[in-house]
């Protein structure tokens, strides 16, 4: 039997839609406050919108208020969804193991839902009962769309916000490929961060419509590279429309327009990198004026990424940007280059769970006299992490020390590429991965009027000479 997300993708493909129609029978929208009225309200919505729906999402709370009659109405609504259209029960369950097992039976066996939203706060044993059947899906609350979400979800843990840790745990718990995340479309920067770190997971992204999220920004931030992976629920924007069928079609078409033009939205930067670019300028990590570089050249722009260490939140944000570069690579350890990249590399390792080593600039003539600090095994592969790259020359001495110690090096990751380092690395068989190209940052800052035209032109002219 195909898994839940296989069936969801199949349905999305058949109707060319990522729209999830919310079935939220608010009492204020009903002719009378009763289970029967709630049922009829939802049945009309299903009949009108099912040609455009990838899935339906009934909200359990608006049925539970009517007691046993409400539960019967909810079961009838789920049963009325046409065959082949997945139903996600919005119930946000999660309790100790035996209670969660009962909740899972209620949702999947009694009510007939195909998936459910689950609260991860009690940990894996509370989530596991919902995951036991690979044919049933779970959307784990991660970064929710409500205004107060940050009260807990933004708390830092292990160098990263709690929502990033929830997503990391979700990857570990997803042994049957039936676990996705709830990530609010109202927070496109966080949505982009999570997509970068978890490129394959499905996200349920509430917030479009009545909550006011920017649909294009959400699609740009959250879509997978294949144009899938993001299920977008809309409730009141459809149910309160004069013609729900027309409204559903409109949302479906608007979603598809954005899906087919993702690159147009990323001509500058995606929301997560845009926020980090703003931080770099705000913290003085990039400065404009007259500077003398190490080479002796006069430069109108100076990058001082050591300043990242002075702001733990931005340092963690920068580390998450590196994670998107590192996750596809195969390596055993991270090798941070002294000195600017050491705090960055430590932040990366705290979030990614990798061990850290670093080559010394000066080898001591006492103690262990090690050229490479930190435990490692001969023959392991390390990925080199540095703050920026100009010509690549400064990297080779450090890489040679790593290789002399018996470590393999094939990849180098930097936050900012000034534009001329990749070729030099390639000549040594090394692959460069960068979060930003400096000229892209300059384009972005100028488009936002964050730098003057004179600063922009002088910096670009200097880069062309390097």
- pLDDT bin (cut points 50, 70, 90) of residue 130 is very high
**CATH code at 373?**
3.40.50.2020
Q: Which domain holds residue 405?
A: 271-465
Q: Which of 351-355, 368-372, 436-440 has the lowest mean pLDDT?
A: 368-372
Q: Model's pTM, two decimal places?
A: 0.70
SS (H, E, C) 318-370: HHHHHHHHHCCCCCCEEEECCCCHHHHHHHHHHHHCCCEEEECCCCCCCCCCC
Domain boundary among 265, 293, 316: 265
Identify whether the C-beta of residue 350 lies closer than 8 Å to the C-beta of residue 319. yes
| Mean pLDDT value of segment 347-375 | 86
Give yes or no for residue 265 having a pLDDT over 80.
Answer: no
Rounded to an integer, the average pLDDT of 391-415 is: 89
Asked if residue 59 has pLDDT above 80, the reply is yes
282-305 pLDDT, tens digit each = 999 999 999 987 777 789 999 999
Q: What is the pLDDT of residue 262?
A: 46
> Does the N-terminal peptide bond of residue 106 adopt cis geometry, omega within 30 degrees of 0?
no
Cis status, amide bond into 411, omega within 30 of 0: no
Burial degree of 14 (CB within 10 A; 0-12, 13-18, 19+): exposed
Domain end position, chosen among 207, 232, 265: 265
- Are 203 and 289 within one domain? no
Region of poorest pLDDT, from 40-44, 96-100, 321-325, 418-422:
418-422
Kindly state whether residues 73 and 28 are assigned to the same domain: yes
Phi and psi of 34, rounded to 5°? -155, 160
Joined tokens for residue 282: 């705000």
Check whether residue 232 and residue 98 sit in a common domain. yes
Judge whether residue 263 has pLDDT over 50.
Answer: no
| Pair 313, 390 in one domain | yes
Distances (CA, A) of 381 to 360, 407, 431: 18, 6, 14
Q: Give me the pLDDT at residue 361, please.
A: 83
What is the domain count for the chain?
A: 2
* Residue 260 confidence (pLDDT) above 80: no
Catalytic residue, from 57, 92, 136, 395: name it: 92
109 and 87 in a common domain: yes
Element (H, E) at 249: helix 244-259
Q: What is the CATH number of the domain that holds 102?
A: 3.20.20.70
Average model confidence (pLDDT) across the chain: 91
Residue 231 and residue 300 in one domain: no
Nearest to 351 by CA among 169, 143, 173: 169
In this structure, the answer to whether residues 208 and 139 fall within a common structural domain is: yes
Given a cut of 60, whether residue 264 has pLDDT beyond it is: no
Do the Cβ atoms of 225 and 36 come closer than 8 Å?
Answer: no
CA nearest neighbour of 200 among 173, 219, 181: 181
Instruction: Tell me, rounded to whole angstroms, the distance of Cα 214 from its chain centroid.
Output: 16
Residues 136 and 17 in one domain: yes
**356 & 335 share domain:** yes
Same domain, 8 and 64: yes
Cβ atoms 208, 218 nearer than 8 A: yes
**Pair (318, 354) in one structural domain:** yes
Distance, C-alpha 29 to centroid of its chain: 35
Last residue of a domain, one of 240, 265, 290: 265
Q: What is the dihedral of CA 216, 218, 220, 221, to 10 degrees?
A: 160
Spatial distance between the Cα atoms of 66 and 295, rounded to a whole number of angstroms:
75
Residues 211, 355, single domain; the answer is no
176 is catalytic: no
């Amino acid at each position: 039997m195909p898994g839940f997300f296989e069936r969801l993708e199949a349905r999305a493909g058949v109707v060319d839609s990522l729209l999830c129609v919310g079935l939220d029978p608010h009492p204020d929208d009903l002719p009378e406050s009763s289970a029967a009225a709630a049922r009829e309200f939802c049945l009309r919505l299903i009949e009108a919108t099912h040609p455009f729906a990838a899935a339906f999402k009934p909200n359990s709370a608006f049925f539970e208020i009517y007691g046993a009659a409400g539960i019967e109405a909810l079961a009838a609504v789920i049963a009325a969804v046409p065959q082949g259209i997945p139903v996600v029960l919005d119930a946000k369950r999660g309790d100790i193991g035996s209670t969660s097992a009962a909740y899972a039976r209620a949702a999947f066996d009694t009510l007939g839902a195909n998936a459910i939203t689950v609260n991860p706060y009690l940990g894996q044993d509370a989530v596991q009962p919902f995951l036991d059947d690979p044919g049933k899906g779970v959307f784990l609350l991660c970064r929710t769309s409500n205004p107060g979400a940050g009260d807990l979800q933004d708390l830092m843990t292990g160098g990263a916000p709690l929502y990033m840790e929830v997503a990391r745990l979700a990857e570990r718990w997803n042994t049957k490929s039936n676990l996705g995340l709830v990530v609010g479309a109202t927070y496109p920067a966080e949505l982009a961060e999570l997509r970068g770190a978890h490129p394959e997971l499905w996200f349920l992204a509430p917030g479009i419509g009545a909550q006011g999220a920017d649909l294009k920004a959400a699609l740009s931030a959250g879509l997978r590279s294949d144009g899938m992976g993001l299920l977008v629920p809309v409730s009141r924007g459809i149910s309160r429309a004069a013609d729900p069928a027309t409204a559903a079609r409109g949302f479906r078409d608007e979603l598809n327009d954005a899906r087919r033009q993702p690159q147009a939205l990323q001509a500058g930067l995606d929301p997560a990198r845009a926020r980090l670019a703003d931080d770099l300028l705000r913290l003085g990590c990039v400065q404009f004026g007259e500077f003398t570089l190490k080479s002796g050249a006069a430069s109108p722009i100076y990058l001082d990424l050591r300043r990242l260490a002075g702001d733990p939140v931005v340092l963690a944000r920068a580390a998450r940007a590196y994670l998107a570069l590192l996750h596809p690579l195969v390596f055993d350890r991270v090798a941070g280059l002294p000195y600017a990249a050491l705090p960055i590399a430590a932040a990366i390792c705290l979030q990614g769970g990798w061990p850290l080593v670093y080559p010394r600039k000066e080898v001591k003539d006492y103690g262990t006299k090690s050229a490479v600090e930190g435990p490692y095994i001969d023959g392991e592969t390390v990925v080199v992490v540095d703050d920026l790259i100009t010509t690549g020359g400064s990297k080779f001495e450090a890489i040679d020390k790593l290789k002399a110690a018996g470590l393999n090096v094939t990849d180098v990751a930097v936050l900012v590429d000034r534009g001329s380092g990749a070729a030099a690395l390639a000549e040594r068989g090394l692959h460069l991965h960068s979060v930003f190209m400096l000229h892209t940052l300059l384009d972005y800052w100028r488009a936002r009027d964050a730098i003057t035209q004179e600063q922009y032109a002088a910096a670009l002219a200097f880069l062309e000479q390097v």
